[in-house]
Amino acid sequence: MSLLRRCTAGWAALCVTAALATGYTDGSAGSEASPEGEEGTRRVSLTVVESGGQTLVLVPVTVKGEGPYTFVLDTGASASVVDDDLARELDLARTGERRPVSGVVGTGRVPVVEVPDWRMGRVSLAAADLAVIDLPQAPGARSLHGLLGSDVLSDFGRITVDYDKETLSVPSR
């Protein structure tokens, strides 16, 4: 196994391990965004899965009008990524760039794709270039199609995750 494959598989395995540890199985992450909320906010339904002291927040993401696909909401990740199978399925255009990624077993460089049209729930996201990684699939667990990181979330200035109500609130644009 190449260093890059071990790197991305090791890094992505953390997300899959969390999903498995919480017992999250195939099902639909909430896909509705509520209309304008108080103080001009938009809300996106999330799926919060907790088990054994671990919490995983899943957000529905539509790409090029397809989906929703399940992305892990990770405010601690500096960069958002998309699974290589989804990038192929949606025929996302490659930029030719290769981006460095770091994982638990090392570092490597991965391809980058253009995502011109995507949303979380009904909330539009700015066009972005995302790194492509091979998110491992686990038997019996829902497929994870990507990771939504602070590079995208910071565009909103502030976000609020309500774990009890399973909602993400972002300011209206």
- Total of domains in the chain: 1
Higher pLDDT residue, 123 or 104? Answer: 123
Here the CATH number for the domain that contains residue 60 is 2.40.70.10
pLDDT tens digit sequence for 117-132: 999 999 999 999 999 9
CA 10 remoteness from chain centre? 17
Q: What is the pLDDT of residue 164?
A: 93
Q: What is the pLDDT of residue 78?
A: 87
Is residue 12 scored above 70 in pLDDT?
Answer: no
* Structural domain boundaries, residue 158: 3-171
First to last CA, the chain: 44
Q: Using CA atoms, how far apart are residues 115 and 97, in angstroms rounded to an integer?
A: 14
- Split at pLDDT 50, 70, 90, the class of 102 is confident
Q: What is the pLDDT of residue 137?
A: 61
Give the three-class secondary structure for 79: coil
pLDDT tens digit sequence for 31-57: 344 444 556 889 999 998 877 787 889
- Alpha carbon of 32 to those of 118, 121, 155, 167: distances in Å? 14, 5, 20, 10
CA 111 remoteness from chain centre? 17
* Other Cβ atoms within 10 Å of 142 Cβ, number: 19
